[in-house]
Amino acid sequence: MIYDIVIIGGGPAGLTAALYARRANKTALIIEKATFGGQITHSPKVENIPGFLALSGNEFAEKMVEQVMEQGADVEIAEVTEIIDGEIKTVKTDSGEFHGKSVIIATGARHRMLGLEREDEFVGEGISFCAVCDGAFYTGKTVAVIGGGNSALQEAIMLSDLCKKVYVVQNLDYFTGEQKLVEILNSKNNVEAILGTTVESLMGENALNGIVIKRGEERRTILIDGMFVAIGLIPQNEFAADLITLNSWGYVDAGENCLTNKKGIFVAGDCRSKRIRQVATACSDGAIASLAACDYVDSL
């Protein structure tokens, strides 16, 4: 079968793209390698999605998948390994090939992890990545932010307005973020910066309740209610590196129109170069890319 649109990635961007494709009477296939919903599924409570007072990331993902399936989109669990360009695009995966008149890349970006034992186990159970999404969950509590760049400093500043105590742990002896952000952070009485220090291990049974940090041979135990990891993102665009233009960080080099340098190949969500990466902006990209793909298919 040749689909009108093959969508790579089943997060909010990809699911929104499929929804708009089906509403435009275009055949659509979503290829997802792991879990539908993307990063949002790690959030136990989300309060910034329009139309919902609060719900878990998993609940939101389930609602999106149900909606898209009801509209008649096809889904396939597989990992994409290559896209072959042509009048008909061939999407190669670890379980076969799929064909489409157009392709939308919506693979997202995964959070860079610390590489500690039980880290994956604690994601959503004390480990978070987004203060906008999960910060309110820790109101009046003690948290640690890991990282020292702009993202980490912004997370820490936001959390300082909610939390009783915020530790900022940076492996370098200085922050790498903007000086203005450093000044704001230093003005916060409830923030303690711990520089030149790494997180050695995580503590807790069913949920994270502390960390062991290390500077040289010195170790210190900090009891916390949650930890926000902000040491960067890794875009998942490796399979397309030889086909479309990526920037120096590996994100697809595309603007708000979601167009790549290849006709018939579009991009949506966190995998493209952009400043704001939130559910709302991912859904926006999904709609824009899908409508552009529909126009492209109609022009063939």
- The residue segments making up the domain with residue 196 are 113-229
Task: Give the pLDDT confidence of 131-179 residue by residue, as tens digits.
Answer: 877 888 999 999 999 999 888 998 999 999 999 999 999 999 999 988 9
Domain boundary among the residues 212, 229, 246 is at 229
CATH, residue 125? 3.50.50.60
Which residue among 4, 74, 94, 133 is the active-site one?
133
Same-domain pairing of 18 and 90: yes
Say which residue the tokens 């923030």 belong to.
Answer: 191
For the chain, what is the domain count? 2
134 is catalytic: yes
Same-domain pairing of 259 and 214: no
Global pTM value:
0.76
Which residue among 134, 225, 270, 285 is the active-site one?
134
Q: What is the pLDDT of residue 182?
A: 94
Task: Give the pLDDT confidence of 99-137 residue by residue, as tens digits.
Answer: 999 999 999 988 889 999 999 999 989 999 888 778 889
Which residue among 4, 74, 130, 242 is the active-site one?
130
Q: What is the pLDDT of residue 44?
A: 66
Both tokens of 178, joined, read 């903007």
133 is catalytic: yes
Same-domain pairing of 117 and 224: yes
Same-domain pairing of 211 and 290: no
Is the pLDDT reported for residue 40 higher than 80? no
Query: Which one has a higher pLDDT value, 290 or 40?
Result: 290
Task: Give the pLDDT confidence of 211-227 residue by residue, as tens digits.
Answer: 999 999 999 999 999 99
163 is catalytic: no
Same-domain pairing of 104 and 237: yes
Q: What is the pLDDT of residue 150?
A: 84
Q: Looking at 4-13, 41-50, 93-102, 206-215, which range is the least confident one? A: 41-50
Distance between CA 172 and CA 1 in Å, rounded? 53
Distance between CA 29 and CA 40 in Å, rounded? 21
